[in-house]
Copies of this chain bind each other. A is one copy, B any other.
Amino acid sequence: MAETVRWLTPEEQRAWRGFVRLHERLGGRLGRLLQSESKVSPADFAVLVHLTDSPHGRQRYQDLARSLEWEKSRMSHHIARMAGRGMVVREECPDDGRGAFVVITDAGREAIEAAAPRHVEAVRDLFLDHVTPAELRVLTEISERVIRRMDEDPS
């Protein structure tokens, strides 16, 4: 079995390593920047973005988890910590006795509004400004195609 492995060609190897490293570095910098300048971690940021995108700044735990592709356990722990820092609150759901909402607070809105401009600027400085529109289209297409494949085949 091990003898039939199709190892990566040099170009494939280079592409794959480059891709992995790109994300590592980019993610690292953006994360550090967010955290150092605004007391909002990348995870916090993602949660807050989704909440501000939702009506009344509220979402069910599960829906949030699905759109962030987090496990419910992670969501639960993380929201608890964020609630502890006053950025969100947990709210019971009257319709469904089991369910719960997570709702953004004023402090949460302030936090993300403070963090967003620097974040967007950094995404530009570090990434978008160095990619041509044509390349960007290729990247978008690759990403969406591969993600679609993974959706179809939950392995």
A120 interface neighbour in B5, B28, B141, Cβ under 8 Å: B5
Number of interface residues of A (CB under 8 A): 52
How many whole Å from A32's CB to the nearest CB in chain B?
A: 9
Tell whether, in the assembled complex, residue A22 and residue B147 are in contact, meaning their CB atoms are under 8 Å apart: yes
Set of chain B residues within 8 Å of A116, measured between Cβ atoms? 5
Contact B28 A69 (CB under 8 A): yes
B149→A117 contact, CB < 8 A = no
Q: Taking the complex as formed, is A85 at the interface, i.e. its CB lies under 8 A from any CB of chain B? A: no
The answer for the CA separation of A89 and B8 in the assembled complex, in Å, is 29
Q: Is A96 an interface residue (CB 8 A)?
A: no
Asked whether A25 and B150 contact (CB < 8 A) given A5-B121, A15-B136, the answer is yes
Give chain B residues whose Cβ lies under 8 Å from the Cβ of A18.
139-140, 143-144, 147
**CB-based contact A145/B130 at 8 Å:** yes
- The minimal Cβ–Cβ distance linking A49 to chain B, given in whole angstroms, is 10
CA A110 to CA B33, docked complex, whole Å: 39
22 A/B residue pairs, CB under 8 Å, sorted by A = A1-B117, A5-B120, A6-B121, A6-B124, A7-B120, A8-B123, A11-B137, A12-B136, A15-B139, A18-B143, A18-B147, A19-B139, A19-B143, A22-B146, A25-B69, A25-B147, A26-B146, A28-B69, A29-B150, A130-B146, A130-B149, A138-B138
